[in-house]
Chain A
Amino acid sequence: MSAVALPLASTSSALAAPTRTLSATLRILFTEMRYEVVRALRTRAYSLAAIGFPVMFYALFGLLLNRGESTGGVLVSKYLLGGYSVFGALGAAVFGFGVGVALDINAGWLELKRASPMPPLAYLLSKVAMAGAFSVLIVCLLTVLGVAVGHVHITLLEFAKIVGIAAFGAIPFSCLGMAMAFLVPPTSAAGIANLIYLPMSFLSGLWVPLGALPHVVQQIAHFLPSYHLAQMMYSALGASNKGTLLTHLGAIAAFTVAMLALTLVGYRRKEQNA
């Protein structure tokens, strides 16, 4: 069949190799995302921890232990809203994406998915979407808590900005989780996720302001996307912050690329042993 005959080929589509239309691909992607979010919400061990930790910490340090003090030009309760939103996004992705994918690899589930005609990106993007959805949910809960109990005054625009930043944070954090899933032994993934989640939050100043930490430690923060996302949060909330949007986005992009490269290394290694 010549190229000229191609416009007529639709009548003999049974002979042609079945290819998928864009709309069919998007439908698969949407279904995959929907089920992934539903699955994560139903998995209480995950959903309660992912939502519970930031809410609990914020309630404790942002609301209970603070007596109306200010920092960075805003109320502590408003300032910490930014930090704990980033903390929530990090946990949702490192545990939801990282540990989730590691378990799927270990159980052979990822292999079954790969053997199917599912577009591989649908699997990954559904996990990013799930992490993003949890990040947004956490920001909303923290904001409601802050406004109701912590005297936080927040404009609709500020709120929209911090929701957007948290959702955006799901991307670099998911890439971190993915690199972890492909590099560490699957059975130790949960432990290693904790070793990433907690020190990284601390070193990014999400719990204790960075100024209170030794100078050397402060330098590490610049390599962590959580630090840059937190600065973006402070800027959005009208609190004092360091750096510019451009430097933050550049650092986050560099981190994301590095994690994708690490993932590729891990994936190749697994493939050669498959």
Chain B
Amino acid sequence: MPAVMDFPVTQQPSIPAGAVAAVVAELNNVTKRYRSGVTALDGLSLSLRKGEIVALLGPNGAGKSTAVKLMLGLSTPTAGTVRIFGQDPRDTAARMRTGAMLQVGRAPEMLRVREHVAMFRGYYPKPMPYADIVAAAGLGDIQHRFFGELSGGQKQRTLFAMALAGDPDLIFLDEPTVGMDIESRRALWATIRSLAERGKTVLLTTHYLEEADALAHRIIVVDGGRVICQGTPAEVKAIGTEAVSGSATEAAKPLPALNTGTKIIHCVTTLNATHLEAMPGVQHVIINTAQARVTTSQPEATLRAMLALDAELHSIEVASPALEDAFLALTAHRD
């Protein structure tokens, strides 16, 4: 049992070392304005590289889905360029290398799962073998069922199978694990990781921040049609923690910038805020009744000091600043 609980860092796949991988998809300074006058994307640029898992995060209306639609050639930009494999996303050649899982309310209900998969396999020149799709999407027990008979999670798995059907090099997953139970979700994550290991590029939008954290090599936070920040999950969390501190000005004095080693210690202690703030590395303290929440850049030193001063200190939990906190802080500045 590790003394310091953390997000499963070992599970976070790292981008293959070596030369920078080729760009497979690119939005270049893209603006999308609807006829209604709403600006969905406002000069947004992003690029996806071979073998990468990228998570697009943002609140509703941030422009995530619009960005995905543009990359799928379902919509055209008002300004800027979209390139998929160096081609127009509407080219059949580009589409033959792309798979998509979109938020679909209803697929034809009176077709069986295997029939849906067979239909999508037929669209591609070199589809994934059917048995591989069944294994990858976990369709074993539902392949002969009608789509209309499936539960929400099973429908998601079927739609995921359709996205994989063509063995595409670039896969878009729009909120892929909505309605899935934990087990299916983890199985899907494993499949996505193995796809990336095979050199496939995956872009997912999600509102499960845990999902982005556990899965993505890179997170792009989008809000108001712009990229707010991007980086590895750890980097985004660090930036977000600064934003958390910065936005909590009503409670505290200005705080130093946090680094990626920053942890949050929860515990029950008799120590008061003045004591805690004087300890090494401590940046921020919140005490509610007996429960203390201490933000520190040197968690080991802080803990030693706390245990030395309070023999009865208990219920210790040490966590990384949650991506959720970072995300909320980053996107909270808008009206």
Q: Could you tell me the distance in whole angstroms from the C-beta of A38 to the nearest C-beta in chain B? A: 8
In chain B, what residue has the closest Cβ to A274? B75
Find residues 72-87 in chain B having any chain A CB closer than 8 Å to their own CB.
72-76, 87
Does B93 have its Cβ within 8 Å of any Cβ on chain A?
yes
Known: A32-B119, A273-B34. A115 touches B95 (CB 8 A): yes
Check B104 against A112 for contact (C-beta < 8 Å): yes
Check B98 against A39 for contact (C-beta < 8 Å): no
Find residues 84-114 in chain B having any chain A CB closer than 8 Å to their own CB.
87, 91-93, 95-98, 100, 102-111
**Distance A103 CA – B76 CA, assembled complex (angstroms):** 24
Residues of A within 8 A of B87 (CB): 17
Residues of B within 8 A of A119 (CB): 92
**Distance A266 CA – B205 CA, assembled complex (angstroms):** 30
Inter-chain CB contacts under 8 Å: number: 91
Known: A109-B106, A115-B73. A18 touches B100 (CB 8 A): no
Check A42 against B110 for contact (C-beta < 8 Å): yes
Known: A35-B115, A108-B102, A109-B107. A117 touches B124 (CB 8 A): yes
Does A188 have its Cβ within 8 Å of any Cβ on chain B?
no
Find residues 31-88 in chain A having any chain B CB closer than 8 Å to their own CB.
31-32, 35, 38-39, 42-43
In chain B, what residue has the closest Cβ to A40? B110
Q: Could you tell me the distance in whole angstroms from the C-beta of A23 to the nearest C-beta in chain B? A: 12
**Distance A18 CA – B87 CA, assembled complex (angstroms):** 12
Cβ-defined partner of A112 (8 Å) among B102, B118, B122 = B102
Does B249 have its Cβ within 8 Å of any Cβ on chain A?
no
Known: A115-B74, A272-B35. A108 touches B103 (CB 8 A): yes
Residues of B within 8 A of A112 (CB): 100, 102, 104, 107, 159, 162
Check B74 against A114 for contact (C-beta < 8 Å): yes
Q: Could you tell me the distance in whole angstroms from the C-beta of A222 to the nearest C-beta in chain B? A: 37
Check B96 against A18 for contact (C-beta < 8 Å): yes
Check A18 against B125 for contact (C-beta < 8 Å): yes
In chain A, what residue has the closest Cβ to B85? A17
Check A111 against B102 for contact (C-beta < 8 Å): yes
Does A155 have its Cβ within 8 Å of any Cβ on chain B?
no
Check A116 against B120 for contact (C-beta < 8 Å): yes
Does B130 have its Cβ within 8 Å of any Cβ on chain A?
no
**Distance A24 CA – B35 CA, assembled complex (angstroms):** 38
Does B123 have its Cβ within 8 Å of any Cβ on chain A?
yes
**Distance A115 CA – B119 CA, assembled complex (angstroms):** 14
Does A107 have its Cβ within 8 Å of any Cβ on chain B?
yes
Check A17 against B93 for contact (C-beta < 8 Å): yes
**Distance A119 CA – B122 CA, assembled complex (angstroms):** 11
Residues of B within 8 A of A114 (CB): 74
**Distance A111 CA – B76 CA, assembled complex (angstroms):** 14
Check A43 against B110 for contact (C-beta < 8 Å): yes
Does A215 have its Cβ within 8 Å of any Cβ on chain B?
no
Cβ-defined partner of B111 (8 Å) among A24, A35, A273 = A35
Q: Could you tell me the distance in whole angstroms from the C-beta of B107 to the nearest C-beta in chain A? A: 6
Residues of B within 8 A of A39 (CB): 108, 110-111
Check A107 against B106 for contact (C-beta < 8 Å): yes
Does B36 have its Cβ within 8 Å of any Cβ on chain A?
yes
Q: Could you tell me the distance in whole angstroms from the C-beta of B270 to the nearest C-beta in chain A? A: 57
**Distance A38 CA – B147 CA, assembled complex (angstroms):** 14
Cβ-defined partner of A20 (8 Å) among B76, B97, B103, B125 = B125
**Distance A107 CA – B103 CA, assembled complex (angstroms):** 9
Q: Which of A18, A27, A114, A273 has the most CB of B within 10 A?
A: A18
Residues of A within 8 A of B159 (CB): 112
Check A35 against B119 for contact (C-beta < 8 Å): yes
Check B98 against A115 for contact (C-beta < 8 Å): yes
**Distance A20 CA – B73 CA, assembled complex (angstroms):** 19
Residues of A within 8 A of B73 (CB): 115
Proximity bits, B108-148, A CB within 8 Å = 1, else 0: 11110001001110111100000000000000000000100
Q: Could you tell me the distance in whole angstroms from the C-beta of A146 to the nearest C-beta in chain B? A: 31
Known: A115-B95, A115-B100. A109 touches B122 (CB 8 A): no
Proximity bits, A246-274, B CB within 8 Å = 1, else 0: 00000000000000000000000001111
Residues of A within 8 A of B74 (CB): 111, 114-115, 274
In chain B, what residue has the closest Cβ to A114? B74
Does B69 have its Cβ within 8 Å of any Cβ on chain A?
yes
Check B123 against A116 for contact (C-beta < 8 Å): yes
Check A31 against B122 for contact (C-beta < 8 Å): yes
Does B51 have its Cβ within 8 Å of any Cβ on chain A?
no
Find residues 107-128 in chain A having any chain B CB closer than 8 Å to their own CB.
107-109, 111-112, 114-119
Does B166 have its Cβ within 8 Å of any Cβ on chain A?
yes
Check B107 against A116 for contact (C-beta < 8 Å): no
In chain A, what residue has the closest Cβ to B162? A112
In chain B, what residue has the closest Cβ to A47? B110
In chain A, what residue has the closest Cβ to B120? A116
**Distance A117 CA – B76 CA, assembled complex (angstroms):** 17
**Distance A111 CA – B162 CA, assembled complex (angstroms):** 13
> What are 21 pairs between A and B in contact, CB < 8 Å?
A17-B91, A18-B93, A28-B122, A31-B122, A35-B111, A38-B115, A42-B146, A106-B105, A108-B104, A108-B105, A109-B104, A111-B102, A111-B104, A112-B102, A112-B159, A112-B162, A115-B73, A116-B100, A116-B166, A117-B98, A117-B124
Q: In the A-B complex, list the 7 residue pairs whose CB atoms are closest, starting with the nearest.
A: A107-B105, A107-B106, A42-B110, A117-B95, A17-B93, A115-B72, A274-B75
List 14 additional contacts besides A117-B124, A117-B166, A118-B123; criterion CB under 8 Å. Answer: A18-B96, A19-B92, A104-B108, A106-B105, A107-B107, A108-B102, A108-B104, A109-B105, A116-B95, A116-B120, A272-B34, A273-B34, A273-B35, A273-B36
